[in-house]
């Protein structure tokens, strides 16, 4: 379920940004009403589709596409001493020791895994609800697609009237379409529809046969074939599937609705570039609407008449249609470019900077604080004892991520054993950290001298406190799986002069 939670978290961020983008696009369209043609309005919605697709591209590109810089993992450090100001004075040492012995500090720290478990459970539940919703929407889209597919398979024996077929072939050739696009008569649709991603077909309701004249048929064919040339079926299907991922976001569904409206008007405008069709085109739409019972079309197809509440707007647009002037086209292109630069800023910046993973320190801090990779110690090492009983399952070294293919340092060794296995100090030193963080879980860090430090991660319980003097073999915690761990184990790291080294190089046999 971890993958499901990660996908859900990614979708939430993307959906929030997409909702903001929908608002900006609607505001832009409203401000430029009368100046943007339907074609340019339709093109603006392509920016939203790009915004929804790009975060799912492979690699780390999606991290570069967020307007809002959410940290991938928020590390909330919970010091063992919550309200205690620990210094090395004897009074504070005594107070710290008493609090530790009474269990107050350890119990406070041990509450954090419970809170983390509650958060994880909530996220998992939300992810399940999201996945079920996605599945339901995809099933709905699939059923619509299958219904339209069925329409292309039934009544194949019904012959299209020869004069209609001849006119269709003439229009298809005149529009420069070489691909074979079948023409079918069927009673499975109520309005002329272009359907099919791989084998496009123009579906004509059987009740229209014999009730339209030649100019009506030409308008219908030009409209549906224009949808084909503009790849509108692909656009609608892609947007519908993306909307399935964001089924909980009403802004996405409203954007899909507006895209369909602008799509039909853009298609109308393209057909109306033939001036002789202007009068017959509007009357054809009204005629088809009068003799058809309008209903929602399959998401994989595009229809001719559409919805009744769109007809008045389309007919008004047709009557008032004037060919776009070149300056308007230049204005539209300029707006699209500016909108793309403003709405997809990080898309153009992708690759200029690398986003590290959640466990890495920002590059600006690496020089001073982040340990670096060192193959072997450069001097005679300090000797350490094995911190816990268990089997080494993951060694120190560079590993290649199985999905992203990126190299990442595993900066210690993993010792696997059952939960509650004692974890001991590997050498004498001072505990400089004993706290819980979401990534590493219960963590103890011991400073042995000015050069050497050891780390003990994913403990189930802390048995030491910050500032405590420990000797080699002293109990400091119990093995567990807190933080981002898939099972009970100890992650043990050795650091020499700020550099992670292979612990097996300095462990006593």
Alpha carbon distance 194, 143 (integer Å): 17
Provide the pLDDT for residue 316: 60
Alpha carbon distance 392, 188 (integer Å): 65
State mean pLDDT over 160-175.
91
Of the pLDDT bands very low, low, confident and very high (cuts 50, 70, 90), residue 53 is confident
For strands 407-410 and 413-416, give the pairing: unpaired
Provide the pLDDT for residue 363: 34
Provide the pLDDT for residue 370: 41
Provide the pLDDT for residue 148: 74
Alpha carbon distance 423, 413 (integer Å): 14
Provide the pLDDT for residue 185: 87
For the full predicted model, state whether its pTM sits above 0.75: no
Look at residue 388 and tell me whether its pLDDT is greater than 90. Answer: yes
Alpha carbon distance 387, 392 (integer Å): 12
Look at residue 83 and tell me whether its pLDDT is greater than 50. Answer: no
- Average the pLDDT over each of 83-87, 128-132, 448-452 and give the range with the smallest value: 83-87
Tokens of 343: 């709405």
State mean pLDDT over 459-471.
92
State mean pLDDT over 199-223.
88
**Domain 359-505 -> CATH class:** mainly beta
Backbone angles phi, psi at 492, to 5 degrees: -115, 125
Q: Which residue, 220, 256, 250, 221, is CA-closest to 235? A: 256
When comparing pLDDT for 37 and 179, which is higher? 179
For strands 301-303 and 193-195, give the pairing: antiparallel
State mean pLDDT over 161-184.
91
Provide the pLDDT for residue 278: 72
Alpha carbon distance 47, 30 (integer Å): 17
When comparing pLDDT for 75 and 457, which is higher? 457
Q: Which residue, 85, 77, 107, 113, is CA-closest to 467? A: 85
3-state secondary structure 24-39: HHHHHHHHCCCCCCHH
State mean pLDDT over 388-395.
90
- Degrees to nearest 5, angle at CA 122 with 116 and 125: 140
Look at residue 311 and tell me whether its pLDDT is greater than 70. Answer: no
Look at residue 350 and tell me whether its pLDDT is greater than 50. Answer: no
- Other Cβ atoms less than 10 A from the Cβ of 423: the count is 30
Provide the pLDDT for residue 270: 84
When comparing pLDDT for 65 and 507, which is higher? 507
Beta carbons within 8 Å of 382's beta carbon, 6+ residues apart = 427, 448, 449, 451, 452, 506
Q: Where are the domains of the chain?
A: 137-324, 359-505
Q: Which residue, 505, 509, 480, 508, is CA-closest to 397? A: 505
When comparing pLDDT for 248 and 352, which is higher? 248
Backbone angles phi, psi at 14, to 5 degrees: -60, -40
Provide the pLDDT for residue 55: 77
Alpha carbon distance 333, 352 (integer Å): 26
Question: Under a CB-based contact definition with an 8 Å cutoff, are residues 264 and 224 in contact?
Answer: no
When comparing pLDDT for 157 and 297, which is higher? 157
Look at residue 167 and tell me whether its pLDDT is greater than 60. Answer: yes
Look at residue 324 and tell me whether its pLDDT is greater than 70. Answer: no
Provide the pLDDT for residue 340: 60
Q: Where does residue 69 fall: left (phi above 0), alpha (psi -120 to 50 degrees), or beta otherwise?
A: beta
Alpha carbon distance 489, 460 (integer Å): 10
Three-state SS at 427: coil
Alpha carbon distance 421, 418 (integer Å): 6
- Average the pLDDT over each of 144-148, 230-234, 262-266, 493-497 and give the range with the smallest value: 144-148
Beta carbons within 8 Å of 370's beta carbon, 6+ residues apart = 360, 361, 498
State mean pLDDT over 396-407.
67
Provide the pLDDT for residue 443: 94
Look at residue 88 and tell me whether its pLDDT is greater than 50. Answer: no
State mean pLDDT over 299-326.
55
Of the pLDDT bands very low, low, confident and very high (cuts 50, 70, 90), residue 108 is very low
Look at residue 8 and tell me whether its pLDDT is greater than 80. Answer: yes
Look at residue 315 and tell me whether its pLDDT is greater than 80. Answer: no
Q: DSSP for 440-501?
A: TEEEEEEE-SSSEEEEEEEEEEE---TT-EE-TT-EEEEEB-TTT-SSSEEEEEEEETTEEE
CA–CA distances in Å: residue 450 to residues 187, 382, 384, 493: 84, 12, 16, 16
Buried b (16+ CB within 10 A) or exposed e, 259-290: bbbbbbbbbbbbbbeeeebeebbbebbebbbe
CA–CA distances in Å: residue 250 to residues 53, 85, 218, 258: 18, 50, 38, 12
State mean pLDDT over 432-448.
89
CA–CA distances in Å: residue 140 to residues 144, 150, 217, 242, 433: 6, 15, 32, 14, 54
Backbone angles phi, psi at 273, to 5 degrees: -65, -20
Provide the pLDDT for residue 336: 62
DSSP classification of residue 507? B
Look at residue 246 and tell me whether its pLDDT is greater than 90. Answer: yes
Provide the pLDDT for residue 40: 82
Average pLDDT of the chain is 75
């Amino acid at each position: 379920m971890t993958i499901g939670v990660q996908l859900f978290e990614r979708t939430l961020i993307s959906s929030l940004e997409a909702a903001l983008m929908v608002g900006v696009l609607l505001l832009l369209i409203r401000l430029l009403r009368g100046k943007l043609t339907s074609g340019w309005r339709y093109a603006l919605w392509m920016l939203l589709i790009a915004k929804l697709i790009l975060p799912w591209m492979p690699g780390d590109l999606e991290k570069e596409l967020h307007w809002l810089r959410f940290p991938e993992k928020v590390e909330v450090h919970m010091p063992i001493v919550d309200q205690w100001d620990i210094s090395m004075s004897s009074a504070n040492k005594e107070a710290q020791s008493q609090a530790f012995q009474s269990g107050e500090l350890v119990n406070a720290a041990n509450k954090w895994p419970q809170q983390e478990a509650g958060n994880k459970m909530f996220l998992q539940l939300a992810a399940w609800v999201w996945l079920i919703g996605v599945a339901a929407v995809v099933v709905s889209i699939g059923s619509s697609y299958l219904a339209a597919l069925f329409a292309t398979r039934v009544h194949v024996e019904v012959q299209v009237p020869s004069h209609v077929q001849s006119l269709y072939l003439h229009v298809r050739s005149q529009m420069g379409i070489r691909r074979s696009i079948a023409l079918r008569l069927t009673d499975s649709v109520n309005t002329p529809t272009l359907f099919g991603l791989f084998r496009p077909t123009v579906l004509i309701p059987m009740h229209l046969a014999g009730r339209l004249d030649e100019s009506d048929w030409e308008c219908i064919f030009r409209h549906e074939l224009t949808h084909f040339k503009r790849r509108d079926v692909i656009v609608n299907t892609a947007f519908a599937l993306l909307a399935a991922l964001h089924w909980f976001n009403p802004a996405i569904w409203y954007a899909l609705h507006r895209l369909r409206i602008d799509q039909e008007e853009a298609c109308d405008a393209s057909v109306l570039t033939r001036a002789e069709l202007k009068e017959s085109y509007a009357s054809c739409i009204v005629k088809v609407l009068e003799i058809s019972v309008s209903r929602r079309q399959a998401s994989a197809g595009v229809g001719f008449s559409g919805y009744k509440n769109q007809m008045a707007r389309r007919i008004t647009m047709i009557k008032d249609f004037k060919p776009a002037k070149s300056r308007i086209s230049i204005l539209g292109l300029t707006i699209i470019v500016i909108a793309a630069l403003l709405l997809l800023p990080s898309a153009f910046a992708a690759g200029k900077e690398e986003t590290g993973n959640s466990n890495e320190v920002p590059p600006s801090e690496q020089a001073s604080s982040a340990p670096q990779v060192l193959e072997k110690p450069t001097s005679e090492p300090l000797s350490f004892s094995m911190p816990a009983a268990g089997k080494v399952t993951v060694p120190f070294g560079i590993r290649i991520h199985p999905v992203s293919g990126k190299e990442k340092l595993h900066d210690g060794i993993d010792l696997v054993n059952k939960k509650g296995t004692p974890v001991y100090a590997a050498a004498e030193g001072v505990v400089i950290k004993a706290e819980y963080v979401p990534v590493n879980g219960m963590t103890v860090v011991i400073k042995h001298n000015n050069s050497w430090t050891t780390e003990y991660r994913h403990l189930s319980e802390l048995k030491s406190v910050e500032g405590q003097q420990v000797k080699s073999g002293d109990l400091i915690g119990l093995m567990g799986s807190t933080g981002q761990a898939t099972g009970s184990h100890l992650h043990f790291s050795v650091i020499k002069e700020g550099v992670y080294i292979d612990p097996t190089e300095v462990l006593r046999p």
